[in-house]
Structure 1
Amino acid sequence: MALPVGDLDKSIEFYTSLTPLVVVDRFEDADGESAWLSNDKQVETPFVLVLVGFNKDKGGQHGVLKPFAHIGVEVPNRSDVDELAAKARELGVLHWEPQYVNEQVGYVCALRDPDGNVIEISHDQKVFETVRKLWGSGS
């Protein structure tokens, strides 16, 4: 997934401090700069978020995932949702307070990245578990 950003460094700081993503690599050319983010050391089937800052758009806010469209990040513990929500609240970027929605959605909160995109943090949504069960990749 690729998202345009107005300030690459600010976006990298947001994603690496409020999600499990880490910087894999950074690039720069005449048109701008970009970064690849993924889960730390996830070698098999990695999810990669590409953040792209074009020189012509630098400093603008380019959010495209709003008000409900979002990137979902599942965390292993309910307390992870609460901890990330507390940190986001402190930074003024908490979009939805932590809440249990239902069995399908689980326990969630949402954050706003520096460009206004909505990033959902969930626990017990069972997305990874369900995919592995249905497609036979794990037990």
Structure 2
Amino acid sequence: MNEQLQQARWTHVALPVGDLDRAIDFYTSLTPLVVVSRFADDAGRSAWLSNPGQYETPFVLVLVAFDRESGKQLGLLTPFAHLGIEVPSRAEVDLIAERARELGCLHWEPQDVSEWVGYVCALRDPDGNVIEISHNQKVFETVRRLWAPPAEA
């Protein structure tokens, strides 16, 4: 067993894609994700995407293009199921929505939803999966607060 693995952890979500290069272009141009690594084997090709420099708690979106499904639209996350990405400002939500609108892939217009959801829009990736872009949703902040070790007195 890997010496550095002290406990089980959630590491990735994998999505099949019909066109890997098109999917990589979508995610790297409309979200903050970057390519970490690419792989190929007898079944097809894949790419790992994550936040730049996400080193201590890496979480990866794995895009997999199986040769037998090349060119097919394979979306699984629709109409509400989605991947969520939080950005630092409302302006960034608006900017991403504007670019997605121009590309014809805006799924939900930017909107204030609630205290727990924040300001959001959603995009459709090339396979039809829904990607939510949010500001002030507080998922990251809330989990860190709830799971933080107690402060020393």
* Range class of TM-score, shorter chain: over 0.9
Partner of 2:5: none
Unpaired stretches in structure 2, ≥5 consecutive residues: 1-12
Amino-acid identity (%): 71
Partner residue, 2:117: 105
Alignment map for 1:86-125 (pairs within 5 Å): 86-125=98-137
RMSD: 1.3
Letter in 1 for 2:124: R
* Alignment equivalent of 1:10, drawn from 22, 32, 46: 22
2:41 aligned partner? 29
Q: 1:100–1:108: 8 Å Cα contact kept in structure 2?
A: yes
Structure with bigger gyration radius: 2
The counterpart of 1:72, out of the listed 84, 96, 113, is: 84
Q: CA deviation at 1:137?
A: 5.9
C-alpha distance after superposition, 1:26-50 (max 9, x if no partner): 0111110000000001101112000
Q: What's the CA shift string for 1:33-73, capped at 9, x where partnerless?
A: 00000000110111200000000000000000000000000
User: Which residue matches 2:9?
Assistant: none
What stretches of structure 1 of length at least 5 have no aligned partner?
A: none
* DSSP 3-state at the match of 1:86: helix
> Which protein is richer in strand relative to its size?
1
Task: Report the TM-score, using the length of structure 1 for normalisation.
Answer: 0.97
* 1:42 aligned partner, one-letter code: Q
Amino acid in the other structure paired with 1:41: G
Change (3 A) 1:126 1:59: same
Q: How many residues matched?
A: 139
Match of 1:84 in 2: 96
